[in-house]
Structure 1
Amino acid sequence: MKKILFLALALAGTILSSCQKDSDIIIEDPKKNLIKIADAFAIGSAAKVELWSGTELNTGYQKLYISLSDSASGKALNRSSVQILPIMDMDLNGAKMSHSAPLENPESMDADNSLFSCAAVFTMPSSGESGKWRMIVMVKKEGQTKYGKAEMAIQVKQSQPERVKTITAADGSKLTIAYINPASPKVGVNDFEIAVFKKQDMMTFPAEDNYSITMTPEMPSMGHGSPNNVNPTLTKNGHYKGKVNFTMTGDWRINLVLNKDGKSTTTFFDLLF
């Protein structure tokens, strides 16, 4: 009898311990370290759309995150087709025009920890009444046949130092070149990354995968460069990655030569750390 009682008490203790452990499990909010930029309802898809980022929006390559929830129940939507479209509306002395910017839509219909990852390259800052950015997010929930549309005003600040260049290539095409890494440069070898996009029209900027790139870092104030750099090469979707070596802190200029079909185009990005 004592043995049975002991086993019963042991089993109860195990169950209690198990329940206690389950209650101690803390699920971390995926948006804990993000900044909420804006939100709106996607008309036509019964979804609430939230736009998040790791930082305030600045000119250049900006990683973005979309969070979706059912507009009625508030339940998270983790499987949907999501597309973004940044739009700059300009008023130049009464002449109105709009244009978009390079972008990267979520690669999957499945959210990663309740977030749909995407990116935009903001080519200019917001400028009061004469230049306003807005973000359009198209949402088609699983089972729906049409997209709903959410639209929200956003503010974009000028990056310091400059992190995006719009240049004319040697073949006459317009290129947008976005600096991505190193985001926090350090002395020594750093991962280097840029993204290159070609202007097709005012609303379309496809990734440009056809360049070979030569990179030459220099320190203008000291009159020297650095060894052991690795030229950036294409990974995918217009992204080129390499290695850049900074031998000391100070002002650095990363010179880039973009080569295509025997023609070269030059640009650069400045750093100070």
Structure 2
Amino acid sequence: MSCTDDSDDPIPIVEENPLAEYTMLKAVKANNHSIELYSEQEQFTIGYNELFIRIKDEASESYVSDANISWNPVMHMTEMMHSCPKSEVSKTENASVYKGSSIFQMPGNADEYWELNLEYTIAGQTYNATERIEVKAPVDGKKRVSVFMGTDETRYVLAMMPMKPEVAVNDFSAVLFKMENMMTFPAVEDYKIMIDPRMPGMGNHGSPNNEDLTYDPASKMYNGKLSLTMTGYWKINLKLLNDNDEVLKGEDVTEENEASSLFFEIEF
């Protein structure tokens, strides 16, 4: 007699994870679901975060493809709470993957923290889940988001979109929001963001062929061109102008004024 591996039992099909190349930042366990949050980044960070969501039904071990999801990140400070600019959560080409973006203005610490509130509907039933998340400063310490009061007495949030800088004329984008109240941050359209990149460690020299950022309704971003003529540390000096070309924040760079009060930073 000999032993065989023959069996009539069905072979389970293992579903390939469409987000396998991304980092799972958090898995929220609630309502017999596992809500998985993924990113290209290694952590929730200050500034722009594009996030992808999958919801796994833990009973069937399958991923949900017909959910409607909304979210609200809330910062719990010692004396107040506030939210941040965020997009709606939308479906992607992959039926089990949803995506959205959030712009965190500040990191958490031992006493103050971010909490992500999720509401989602599956097959007509609505669920809620809340989870604390750890938002950190960028690993390189460079400034990619600015929260400021404009000359129009409006508080704005301006964030640089992620990019991989090269010695070239780079595509360069940012998103702009205003604070309507502590929980509401509508997008601002049709303003202008003027840029003046400089290398403070190299005599504060600039670069040619830059293009100021103007609003693109298709992408809902401010797009322009950033010229980087060499590797190293760059301060991207900014000026924000409203639709009447009035300066709301930022100054020209001159011999007497080496930097604008509104800026981003890049080092590569």
Q: What range describes the TM-score normalised by the shorter chain of this pair? A: 0.7 to 0.9
Percent of pairs with identical residues:
32
Deviation at 1:113, TM superposition (A): 5.3
Contact 1:171-1:263 at 8 Å conserved across structures: no
145, 154, 158: which is aligned to 1:177? 158
Partner of 2:83: 100
- What TM-score do the two structures reach when normalised by structure 2? 0.82
Distance 2:100 2:55 in 1: 14
Q: Secondary structure, in 3 states, of the residue corresponding to 2:136? A: coil
1:28 to partner: Cα distance: 4.8
Corresponding residue of 1:21: none
- Structure 1 residue 189: Cα displacement: 1.4
Separation of aligned partners in 1, 2:88 and 2:93: 12
Distance 1:72 1:232 in 2: 49
Asked if structure 2 preserves the Cα contact closer than 8 Å seen for 1:57 and 1:155, the reply is: yes
| Aligned pairs, number | 239
2:113 pairs with one of 119, 132, 152: 132
**Aligned match for 1:165, one of 137, 142, 146:** 146
Secondary structure of 1:226's counterpart equals coil
| 3-state SS of 1:103 partner | coil
Q: 1:189 and 1:245, CA in 2 relative to 1: closer, same or farther beyond 3 A? A: same
Residues 1-273 of structure 1: matches in 2 within 5 Å?
Answer: 28-43=16-31, 47-55=33-41, 56-91=43-78, 95=79, 97-108=80-91, 112=94, 114-128=96-110, 130-141=111-122, 143-144=123-124, 147-159=126-138, 160-182=141-163, 184-222=164-202, 223-236=204-217, 238-260=220-242, 261-264=244-247, 265-266=249-250, 267-273=262-268
Query: Aligned AA for 2:74?
Result: I
Q: Could you give the per-residue CA deviations for residues 164-188 of structure 1, whole angstroms, max 9, x where no partner exists?
A: 1101112110000111142x21111
More helix by percentage = 1
Which protein has the larger Cα radius of gyration, Structure 1 or Structure 2? Answer: 1
Paired letter, 1:212: K
Q: Which consecutive residues of structure 2, in runs of 5 or more, have no partner in the other structure?
A: 1-13, 251-261
**Aligned amino acid, residue 86 of structure 1:** P
Cα offset, 1:47, TM superposition: 3.9
Cα distance between partner residues in 2 of 1:28 and 1:70: 16
Q: Distance in 2 between matches of 1:103 and 1:202?
A: 13
